[in-house]
């Protein structure tokens, strides 16, 4: 049993989101699928996202594929290490980490098919269902729409909701668009959501690394009264000393890590006491193979380990498999993208996702739809929701 081919397909996917006001919001998200085919005809499929899909596809197709050909697909530690030294030999991260993640997930999908077991059981089988939080609160909603959307998700049975803040503040400061104005509006948006859902619903916020320390601190000081469950990626670059300083000054727990490529970054966050929650993403942070190592570090530090950065259908296996697995992010836009690409995705019920019993990841790419979607122009720098 050998790897015959490794092939990446970059996709830029259209998504339409219904607004409570009746207006539809259209956006797009890019992702890169990776298929690993064996000499017996079996396929495993992994994916990555939140990056330049065409660049990752080139890394996989033009570099990694040649190195994997002829190898035993079950030896995931050997192949992960091979890819690490091939693509990131001097500690680089970036695009290469995404490529490694997508390939690793394809290998785990194959491992499950070969052994006749779902990935979550191979990862340890700690539980057969995982709690999810719904990411619903996007910058394209006006304040009133945001509050109505929050209420609609609660009506669907969700008691854990995440909304974005910061809204590309540092990136767009030259418009000019003062950061103080952005966070002042964030305070009002959070207040509107809290008033719409009542005191029992957990609210999470995510700045996507868009604020500096000064404005992140200012925001936390003005929203503590709203009972925020955690504040994700509060500062640019996941700057560890700044997150540690911020954590010492706020009662709001901090979370980070979804786009990190190297396990050592999580070690540094934990040693510096910079975060309450570490959030490696299986589709970005080196697949299940490296995320298991990071989860082990989180366990040793008695820190929470959760999913940020979406792609719940892959990350659910990690959080069901490992004893310290916890929350999975049900990111509504990312989920709509996955529905375009995959068949057989499980749906949450009352805020919980039940894991599939099928071998591997338990859902399959729809080749006909993917062939059509692959004809669309690539994102070329936009479409990274
Ligand atoms: Mg996030």
CATH number for the domain harbouring residue 96: 3.30.390.10
Residues 6+ positions from 139 with CB-CB distance below 8 Å:
164, 167, 168
Taking residue 103's Cβ as centre, other Cβ atoms within 10 Å add up to: 33
Q: How far apart are CA 151 and CA 306, in angstroms?
A: 24
DSSP-derived pairing of the beta strands 129-137 and 352-354: antiparallel
Cα of 255 to ligand 1 centre, how many Å?
9
Q: How far apart are CA 377 and CA 385, in angstroms?
A: 17
Cα of 71 to ligand 1 centre, how many Å?
35
Using the Cα atoms of residue 11, residue 265, residue 335 and residue 161 in order, give the sign of their dihedral. negative
- The whole-number pLDDT of residue 383 equals 45
Cα of 310 to ligand 1 centre, how many Å?
7
Using the Cα atoms of residue 192, residue 196, residue 202 and residue 207 in order, give the sign of their dihedral. negative
Cα of 68 to ligand 1 centre, how many Å?
31
Cα of 315 to ligand 1 centre, how many Å?
13
Q: Quote the percentage of the chain above a pLDDT of 90.
A: 93
Cα of 233 to ligand 1 centre, how many Å?
7
* 112 and 131, same domain (yes or no): no
Count of structural domains within the chain: 2
- The whole-number pLDDT of residue 385 equals 46
Cα of 78 to ligand 1 centre, how many Å?
30
Two structure tokens written together for 347: 């749906």
- The whole-number pLDDT of residue 28 equals 87
Cα of 95 to ligand 1 centre, how many Å?
18
Cα of 43 to ligand 1 centre, how many Å?
30
- The whole-number pLDDT of residue 164 equals 98
Question: Which parts of the chain sit beneath pLDDT 70?
Answer: 381-385
Give the residue from 312, 307, 320, 243 showing the smallest Cα distance to 280: 307
Question: What CATH number did the domain enclosing 288 receive?
Answer: 3.20.20.120
The one-character DSSP state at 233 is S
Q: State the helix-helix crossing angle for 143-155 and 179-197, rounded to 10 degrees.
A: 40
* 90 and 175, same domain (yes or no): no
Cα of 117 to ligand 1 centre, how many Å?
30
Taking residue 196's Cβ as centre, other Cβ atoms within 10 Å add up to: 18
* 124 and 112, same domain (yes or no): no
The answer to whether the beta carbons of residues 215 and 179 sit under 8 Å apart is yes
* 155 and 50, same domain (yes or no): no
Residue 383 in any domain: the answer is no
Cis peptide leading into 176, omega within 30 of 0?
A: yes
Cα of 168 to ligand 1 centre, how many Å?
13
Give the residue from 250, 254, 174, 271 showing the smallest Cα distance to 209: 254
Domain that holds residue 86: 3-117+368-373
* 235 and 96, same domain (yes or no): no
* 124 and 113, same domain (yes or no): no
Two structure tokens written together for 49: 């996202």
- The whole-number pLDDT of residue 292 equals 98
Residue 179 in any domain: the answer is yes
* 271 and 337, same domain (yes or no): yes
- The whole-number pLDDT of residue 19 equals 81
Cα of 9 to ligand 1 centre, how many Å?
24
Give the residue from 51, 158, 135 showing the smallest Cα distance to 96: 51
Give residue-wise pLDDT tens across range 146-181: 999 999 999 999 999 999 999 999 999 999 999 999
Cα of 162 to ligand 1 centre, how many Å?
9
* 208 and 159, same domain (yes or no): yes
Cα of 67 to ligand 1 centre, how many Å?
32
* 143 and 251, same domain (yes or no): yes
Residue 18 in any domain: the answer is yes
Cα of 230 to ligand 1 centre, how many Å?
11
Looking at the DSSP assignment, which residues form a beta bridge with residue 46? 34
Cα of 343 to ligand 1 centre, how many Å?
25
Cα of 283 to ligand 1 centre, how many Å?
13
- Listed residues: CB within 5 A of ion ligand 1: 206, 232, 308
Q: How far apart are CA 158 and CA 355, in angstroms?
A: 18
Cα of 132 to ligand 1 centre, how many Å?
14
* 180 and 298, same domain (yes or no): yes
- The whole-number pLDDT of residue 93 equals 85
Looking at the DSSP assignment, which residues form a beta bridge with residue 3? 38
Give the residue from 116, 123, 48 showing the smallest Cα distance to 282: 48
Cα of 206 to ligand 1 centre, how many Å?
6
* 257 and 335, same domain (yes or no): yes
Residue 224 in any domain: the answer is yes
For the chain, the C-alpha Rg in angstroms (whole number) is: 20
* 187 and 334, same domain (yes or no): yes
Q: How far apart are CA 337 and CA 343, in angstroms?
A: 12
Cα of 139 to ligand 1 centre, how many Å?
13
Q: Note every long-range contact of 298-305, with CB atoms under 8 Å and residues 24 or more positions apart, other chains counting.
A: 298/266, 298/270, 298/324, 299/323, 299/324, 301/270, 303/270, 303/275, 303/276, 303/277, 303/278, 304/255, 304/276, 304/277, 304/278, 305/277, 305/278, 305/279, 305/280
Residue 381 in any domain: the answer is no
Residue 248 in any domain: the answer is yes
- The whole-number pLDDT of residue 382 equals 54
Cα of 49 to ligand 1 centre, how many Å?
12
């Amino acid at each position: 049993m050998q790897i015959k081919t490794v092939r990446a397909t970059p996709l830029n996917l259209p998504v339409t989101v219904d607004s409570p006001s009746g207006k539809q919001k259209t956006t797009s998200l890019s992702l890169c699928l990776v298929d690993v085919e064996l000499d017996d005809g079996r396929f495993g499929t992994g994916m990555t996202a939140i990056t330049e899909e065409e660049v990752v596809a080139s890394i996989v197709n033009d570099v990694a594929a040649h190195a994997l050909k002829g190898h035993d697909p079950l030896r995931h530690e050997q192949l992960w290490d091979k890819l690490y030294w091939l693509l990131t030999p001097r500690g680089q991260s970036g695009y290469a980490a995404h490529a490694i993640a997508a390939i690793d997930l394809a290998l785990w999908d194959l491992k499950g098919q070969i052994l006749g077991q779902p990935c979550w059981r191979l990862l340890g089988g700690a539980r057969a269902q995982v709690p999810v939080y719904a990411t619903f609160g996007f910058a394209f909603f006006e304040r009133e729409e945001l509050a109505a959307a929050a209420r609609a998700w609660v009506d669907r049975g969700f008691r854990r909701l995440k909304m974005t803040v910061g809204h590309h503040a540092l990136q767009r400061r030259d418009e000019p668009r003062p950061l103080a104005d952005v966070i002042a509006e964030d305070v009002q948006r959070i207040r509107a959501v809290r008033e719409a859902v009542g005191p029992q619903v957990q609210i999470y916020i995510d700045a996507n690394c868009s604020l500096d320390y000064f404005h992140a601190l200012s925001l936390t000081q003005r929203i503590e009264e709203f009972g925020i469950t955690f504040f994700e990626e509060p500062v640019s670059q996941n700057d560890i000393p700044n997150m540690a300083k911020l954590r010492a000054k706020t009662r709001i727990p901090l979370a980070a890590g979804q786009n990190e490529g190297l396990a050592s970054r999580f070690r540094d966050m934990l040693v510096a006491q910079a975060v309450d929650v570490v959030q490696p993403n299986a589709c970005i942070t080196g697949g299940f193979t490296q995320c298991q190592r990071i989860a082990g570090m989180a366990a040793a530090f008695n820190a929470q380990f959760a999913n940020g950065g979406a792609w719940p259908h892959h990350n659910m296996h990690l959080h069901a498999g490992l004893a310290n697995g916890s929350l999975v992010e049900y990111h509504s836009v990312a989920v709509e993208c996955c529905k375009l690409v995959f068949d057989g995705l499980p749906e949450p019920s009352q805020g919980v996702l039940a894991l599939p019993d099928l071998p591997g990841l338990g859902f399959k790419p729809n080749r006909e739809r993917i062939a059509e979607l692959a004809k669309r122009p690539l994102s070329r720098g936009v479409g990274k929701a």
